Amino acid sequence: MISFDYEDAHAGMVAGVDEAGRGPWAGPVVAAAVILDRTRVPPGLNDSKKLTEAARERLFDPIIISARHGIGMASVAEIDSLNIHWATMLAMQRAVAALGLAVDHVLVDGNKLPRWNQSATAIVKGDAKSLSIAAASIIAKVTRDRMMLALDAECPGYGWARNKGYGTADHARGLAALGVTAHHRRSFAPVKARLAG
């Protein structure tokens, strides 16, 4: 059951952190950090994966308005240089830094933590357990989805408005027909194979 139980296990200011975009062939990985105002929790807040796109969009502005939040990203170049795991950790560090205040504890979705001195707990499936992480999952997902919509207009033919850069059949067809863009992750096997020709 999603709640503030994990937040309540720690004193002081507690932030939830989650990412979006580990798996896609194109685009950055985006992380968000959120400190919720418990008096203004938007109704219907839940793990972004359990919500429709319309529901995520509907919750985005209320979270942004009512909560302290920070967004961090790692670029395609950083993903290719560091690998997706460490690029994700970097995006999470940047998201917490973007909060602009000292945080007493961070709840991170997943089973790994960034290399930092920050007091933190990794929570597997944390986006379905912690309201703060759930809010972060929505901010990260909607932010990245909107970026991929913009990139779809810049680079039509890959279906990014629909697939958000994930490795779907229409993305594979676009990659085969049109080649690799500046927004593709060259270290990912399907893109690497297309470059190899």
Where in the chain are the domains?
A: 5-144
Residues paired with 105 in a beta bridge: 14
Q: DSSP E strands: which ranges in 3-119?
A: 14-20, 29-35, 68-74, 105-109
Residue 169: per-residue pLDDT: 97
The token duo for 77 is: 């170049």
Q: Average of pLDDT values for 141-147?
A: 98
Res. 54: pLDDT tops 90:
yes
Res. 127: pLDDT tops 90:
yes
Closest CA to 185 of 107, 93, 74, 101: 74
Res. 197: pLDDT tops 90:
no
Work out the percent of the chain whose per-residue pLDDT is above 70.
100
Q: Is the pTM of this model over 0.75?
A: yes
Would you say domain 5-144 falls under CATH 3.30.360.10?
no
Compute the 3-state secondary structure of the chain and give helix, strand, coil in percent, each to the nearest 5: 50, 15, 35
pLDDT tens, 155-182? 999 999 999 999 999 999 999 999 999 9
Q: Judge whether 106 and 14 are in contact, CB under 8 Å.
A: yes
Residue 94: per-residue pLDDT: 98
Q: Judge whether 44 and 181 are in contact, CB under 8 Å.
A: no
